[in-house]
Chains A and B, each alone.
Chain A
Amino acid sequence: MARELPIRVTVNGKIYERTVPVRLSLADFLREHLHLTGTHLGCEHGVCGACTISLNGRSARACLTLAVQADGADVVTVEGLRAEDGTRHPLQQIFLENFALQCGYCTPGMLITALELLRDNPNPTEREVREALSGNICRCSGYQAIVDAVLIAARQSGAARANAQASEATSRSSV
């Protein structure tokens, strides 16, 4: 079997073509080859969730995925959450303002997991948030501030959607 293979992968909207060892994990590819060190390694056996990234729109463990498996894939890491102008993603801002991180090691994985939840279930209950985050270990916070931050984000984007709909309705009626 070939020891190295060429891959083409989109990471945070940028296309990369590289030849990589077949035994290289996606996490190591992102960290060592692309210098995207925001994806952290906590166990390298798929339990802790620190390395969670978005792979073709689904959260995935970068430590259990080989770089060659990501050939042709669309990957989003924590570095890809910021807006073009560098503004923090609203969820990042809410994490900051709600003290939803202490050491910060689990944070990138938490953010990616929470964003997937909020996309699929924009109005989750506390129980649903806890279920969704149960594959991401945080050793510092006792989870409460993280769970609260996700619930606040859901409320805020719910309010934003309602406002958008309202203003759309207003603009329609004024026409």
Chain B
Amino acid sequence: MSPELERLQRWMQEVVVHPGTVEEAVASPAAKGEIPADRLGEIVLPSETMTSSERIGVYHGMYLMRMEEALETDYPVIRYHLGDVAFSHLVEAYVQRYPSRSYTLNRLGDHLPQFFLDEPEWPQAAFLHDLARLELAMTQVFDEQESPVLSAEELEAVPPDAWENARLEPTAAFRLLGFRYSVIPHLVAFHEDRPSPTPRRRAAWAALYRRDYSVLRLDLSRAEHDLLKALAGGTPLGEALAVAAQSQKSSRQRAQIFKWFRTWIAEGLFTSIDA
């Protein structure tokens, strides 16, 4: 190992990732723990046009810009809702708590829903937690492995007496979500370039899935969500449908269940059936 190189790298990283000015970064306890602030000029040479501080400041200045660019890619709706200044403030706080530990920036935003749970006093934290869950799930569905889709022919091949205990398996690119806040209108407003609505506490449910490599969404009722959750969780078909039927009061409502089921099969939410 290289002790001097190790120390130099620890020091430079502490300076680069510090959220304050470069002068504050160099004077921070973490950086000073490696190299005293008054030795900056001995470590980094000045150039003809820049001081030592300005030169390391180039790296320091680019760090948060890069983090913000990456998070904006994964959370465009949150950025749209918050605006530039509030989003920058969020990024600064977030990367202090959850810095990148991956070889890819694609994982940087994985903890954003958790961040809003960690920081319940953050403005609109509960709403932003739900919106972050939606956007994170969209990214996950986009990147999941491709799965074969259960075909109508495969379903028809299931013997009638095997339906009761048959279990469905969802595709890898499937996510089921329940929200305390109505976040879908914010996604729609972003795509239609309309002002982001005021957050409203109202339960909502949705399924995300992928078809032809595009991320799609089905907005669901509570009953649809519960049935889909049971099926995706491996509950036998007969049991899941019986529970769903009990929750529907009229025969017309109960007939809806089969319509939902046909839609989910047609949309390609499942990859196989174990009958």
Do A and B interact? no
- The chain A residues found within 8 Å of chain B, CB to CB, are none
